[in-house]
Amino acid sequence: MRFSRRTLVASSAAALLGLSSLTAAAAGKEVKIGYALAQASHFGAAAQGWSGYVEKATNNAFQFKHFPSSALGGERELIEGLQLGTVEAAVVSTGALSNFVADVGVVDIPFLFRDLGHARNVLDGKFGTDLLAKFQQRGLIALAWGEQGFRHLSNNKHVVKNVADMKGLKIRVTENPVHITAFRALGASPTPMSWPEVVSALQQGTIDGQENPISVLTSAKLWEVQKHLSLTAHVYAPMVLLVSPSFWNGLNAQQKAAFTDGAKIGGKASRTFVDEVEKKGVEEARKHGMAVVDNVDRAAFRKALDKPYEQFAKKFGQKTLDDIAATK
């Protein structure tokens, strides 16, 4: 059989195109995933558990590119990126989310959850499932709950054990109306601030302290910029694994199932991370020189929030609060 030069050129071009297509397929579609802290954190554990499952389940049809440590901006910017479709996936705390999905603010009410088991049962049940569904109305697809743990207070001024010790402290809080209301009622001066600004603000003395779970304290090594740690356990802090609607709508049913299952696995990975940190994180803080108060008068803190609780009941419904409290 004889081939013309033109035939050979055409065949070579076709082969190169075929090879290019195979290479592109092997590489998979890029999925940008952003989160606030380093990969060696509960955020990173969630993102890696999620991405690892999806890549394997889809035979590498998708390749996640991680942007940890607020590389794509603060959480507000991440959420807006999801809405715009410039970011495909994110792991975000509820601190910023309540500005986009107002109903999520209920989980940020202080002293609402008794312990980690109670919080997880609430979020894994009908209440949590229904709350995730509400994100779609605001241009977000919420696939699963992750976890940060209970929030505690740190500061550079003095020991905080009682409500009176809060007076006048400039405390960084998330951009969350529930948190701002609560800390104002406790006598502090709440200062809403995006996470990427917090460490430098503590170093410069712009703020006296901050409040976050032990998982954040250890991941960010906050003992380098904070002297006192009070184990207030005032708020349970979940996070949410999200995808962009424009990205989601381009997936087929099997791919959507893989992303959903992977998000749930990622959420569980963050809980495992938190469980480990809760065991050893406080001792690590002590070893790095933090003065730790573990006998905080939590009952007095809760009593000081009676007035805000009336506002929370009006906003979210007393029945909602009662149902959460009644969950075993």
Q: Domain of 234: which CATH number?
A: 3.40.190.170
pLDDT tens track, the chain, 328 positions: 444 444 434 444 444 334 333 333 456 999 999 999 999 999 999 999 999 999 999 999 999 999 999 999 999 999 999 999 999 999 999 988 999 999 999 999 999 999 999 999 999 999 999 999 999 999 999 999 999 999 999 999 999 999 999 999 999 999 889 999 999 999 999 999 999 999 999 999 999 999 999 999 999 999 999 999 999 999 999 999 999 999 999 999 999 999 999 999 999 999 999 999 988 999 999 999 999 999 999 999 999 999 999 999 999 999 999 999 999 9
Q: Which residues make beta-bridge pairs with 212?
A: 152
Asked if residue 172 is part of any domain, the answer here is yes
pLDDT of residue 3: 41
Asked if residue 89 is part of any domain, the answer here is yes
* Helices H / strands E in the chain, number of each: 14, 9
Residue 249 lies in a domain: yes
Opening angle at CA 245, ends 243 and 249, nearest 5: 110
Do the domain assignments include residue 2? no
Q: Which whole-number Å values give the CA distances from 250 to 84, 134, 137, 253, 254, in the listed order?
A: 15, 20, 18, 10, 12
Which strand (E) or helix (H) includes residue 52?
helix 42-57
Q: Are strands 89-93 and 29-34 parallel, antiparallel or unpaired?
A: parallel
Measured distance CA(257)–CA(145) in Å, rounded: 16
Strand-pair category, 141-155 with 209-213: antiparallel
Does 193 fall in a domain? Answer: yes
Residue 95's CB is within 10 A of a number of other CB atoms, namely 28
**Domain span holding position 110:** 28-326
Per-residue model confidence (pLDDT) at position 2? 43
Residue with structure tokens 């065949």? 11
Residue 172: what residue type? R
In a domain, 150, yes or no: yes
Name the helix (H) or strand (E) containing 146. Answer: strand 141-155
Domain membership of residue 6 (yes or no) is no
Q: What is the pLDDT of residue 11?
A: 43
Number of separate domains in the chain: 1
Strand 29-34 to 291-293 pairing: unpaired
The answer to whether position 228 is within a domain reads: yes
